[in-house]
Chains A and B, each alone.
Chain A
């Protein structure tokens, strides 16, 4: 390599697309394990994947841009309602519905971003809550459109690519969701390592510094919010398609708070952290909450306190350290 002679910076050896490939394979493997562990409950796994999109989306704004938000379910919920409404009114092609979800989520993301990214700290947090609650109030009151507190039901999507119909065992829904997750995750793992992704991490670290290298911070954050909205929109669309109903819980404050907990549990600022948090939280919720919802709350509360005190970077951090150390052995220091 000639560059060693020029600059003495050791090259970073990386084979193109190997990270993306490994990511895709890991998710497929996890999906297979899920099938094996919960063969009769693919509906649960499908729901779990749907929420994972929302956690990934939140990771983009909280983990990569440092925006504290407690209203992130708005993007998810708006997309879910948009898909539900479109489906009830006759658009039944699942891929078209997915596209509708993405568009709705992106729009909602851009609107939220325009409002929320203006400020930092407390005003930002409160605006995020207010935007989320505003959407929730609208979903509740526009009964003719959303079904209000009864929820929107009767969402019957058609066949995927005209071939695979949604069965009662959720097989199609599960595979469709898993395949979408693989695509989105691969795209995101490239996205967060792009110049734009790197810039967002810079903004998170120090926004004045970012301005001082000539970055107009606010528009970048709004764009990031748009991307996050699209990802959340995918989740909302898949959830609406696979469950056939959209309820107020999909836009609620509890949902927003819950996904924030999932993200921090796994580790904000890593896509794998977001995914791990979503998986671990929801599987435990499924097991414990079924027994007693209040025990579940006690447990989550305790866990959250412990995480914040002892492992503020989430459960993924020790794993990543291990990976880095092993990778570091091969590199000349």
Chain B
């Protein structure tokens, strides 16, 4: 029973971190059809910025999150203008893979040159650091915070996409890019805004998830595959897809670690192979063929 509860909280927290980081990538892949392997690199920049802000500038945790998100978006702008624009929607996956691997390597090299190659901790505020008693047992407060962040992100995105003008244009562009052009929707602006949104979410997830996915020099490379896998299992461009894939893969990974610690990764990737084989376009994805 105790194990089951532990698995449940860990799955939820881990799944939510995966979700917050991956949902940005998912939207990007759904709209711009770009396999962005550098997504984790931007999450890493967020983590490094937050760590620097708290430890060296001594700002509050909440402000550090803001600095990380805004800072990462600013850093990402030249990449969007110079590089990503070339590969939206047209190139074959190989070109996209290579360019974004190149961007990842470049970011890893530069970030570690600037901030130094060591594990970056992001100290939690007192409010979030202790355990919290939820009646019958206590759980780490940070876990609950992460879960809350995940739920809030999902809700906010749902509202943004379903209820706002931007959301309508976004959906129109996803479904019929040619039609969107014809209707006078400036797709390049939609793309740029979506890119910023995606990168911002990645940075946000990188910071709040740092307790679970620690910020270290090779973060971008270590989790490069994980985020891509979440998106492809869930189906690119789907909030429900990313959410369920994050929780499912979080469950596979966490359960594997608790029940057969020797084979954690193994179960994770076995699940991935089975799902991709059965649903090549993801659980909630649509074929773009």
Q: Is residue A62 within 8 Å, beta carbon to beta carbon, of the partner chain?
A: yes
With A138-B266, A141-B263 known as contacts, the answer to whether A301 contacts B94 (CB < 8 A) is no
Q: Is residue B123 within 8 Å, beta carbon to beta carbon, of the partner chain?
A: no
Interface pair A70/B280, CB less than 8 Å apart: no
Chain B interfacial residues counted at CB < 8 A: 47
Residues of B within 8 A of A125 (CB): 35, 93, 97, 228, 232
Interface pair A126/B228, CB less than 8 Å apart: yes
Tell me, rounded to whole Å, the shortest Cβ–Cβ distance linking A316 to chain B. 16
Interface pair A134/B273, CB less than 8 Å apart: yes
- Tell me which of B98-106, B160-168, B176-184 binds A: B98-106
Interface pair A123/B265, CB less than 8 Å apart: no
Residues of A within 8 A of B93 (CB): 68, 121-122, 124-125
With A141-B263, A298-B109 known as contacts, the answer to whether A304 contacts B269 (CB < 8 A) is no
In the assembled complex, the Cα of A131 lies from the Cα of B228 at a distance in Å of 14
Interface pair B265/A68, CB less than 8 Å apart: no
Q: Is residue B225 within 8 Å, beta carbon to beta carbon, of the partner chain?
A: yes
With A134-B269, A261-B101, A312-B95 known as contacts, the answer to whether A126 contacts B229 (CB < 8 A) is yes
Per the 8 Å Cβ criterion, residues 88-128 of B in contact with A are 92-95, 97-99, 101-110, 112-113, 117
Q: Is residue A294 within 8 Å, beta carbon to beta carbon, of the partner chain?
A: yes
Q: Is residue A165 within 8 Å, beta carbon to beta carbon, of the partner chain?
A: no
Tell me, rounded to whole Å, the shortest Cβ–Cβ distance linking B107 to chain A. 7
In the assembled complex, the Cα of A302 lies from the Cα of B104 at a distance in Å of 10
Interface pair B83/A70, CB less than 8 Å apart: no
Interface pair A297/B101, CB less than 8 Å apart: no
With A68-B97, A137-B269, A253-B225 known as contacts, the answer to whether A123 contacts B102 (CB < 8 A) is no
Q: Is residue A257 within 8 Å, beta carbon to beta carbon, of the partner chain?
A: yes
Q: Is residue A27 within 8 Å, beta carbon to beta carbon, of the partner chain?
A: no
Q: Is residue B277 within 8 Å, beta carbon to beta carbon, of the partner chain?
A: yes
In the assembled complex, the Cα of A121 lies from the Cα of B112 at a distance in Å of 33
Tell me, rounded to whole Å, the shortest Cβ–Cβ distance linking B188 to chain A. 19
Q: Which of B98, B232, B262, B280 has the most A CB atoms < 10 Å from its CB?
A: B98
Q: Is residue B221 within 8 Å, beta carbon to beta carbon, of the partner chain?
A: yes
Q: Is residue B240 within 8 Å, beta carbon to beta carbon, of the partner chain?
A: no
Contact of A297 among B109, B236, B262, B280 (CB under 8 A): B109
Tell me, rounded to whole Å, the shortest Cβ–Cβ distance linking B256 to chain A. 10
Interface residues, chain B, with chain A CB atoms under 8 Å away:
29, 35, 83, 86, 92-95, 97-99, 101-110, 112-113, 117, 217, 221, 224-225, 228-229, 232-233, 236, 262-266, 268-270, 272-273, 276-277, 280-281
> Can you list 29 A-B pairs, Cβ within 8 angstroms, ordered by A?
A66-B94, A122-B29, A122-B236, A124-B93, A125-B97, A126-B272, A127-B276, A130-B269, A130-B276, A133-B265, A134-B270, A137-B266, A140-B265, A141-B262, A257-B101, A261-B98, A264-B98, A295-B109, A295-B113, A296-B109, A297-B106, A297-B108, A298-B108, A298-B113, A301-B101, A301-B103, A301-B104, A307-B102, A309-B99
Given contacts A66-B94, A133-B265, A134-B270, could you give 7 more A-B pairs where the C-beta distance is less than 8 Å? A119-B276, A125-B93, A130-B272, A133-B269, A140-B265, A260-B97, A307-B102
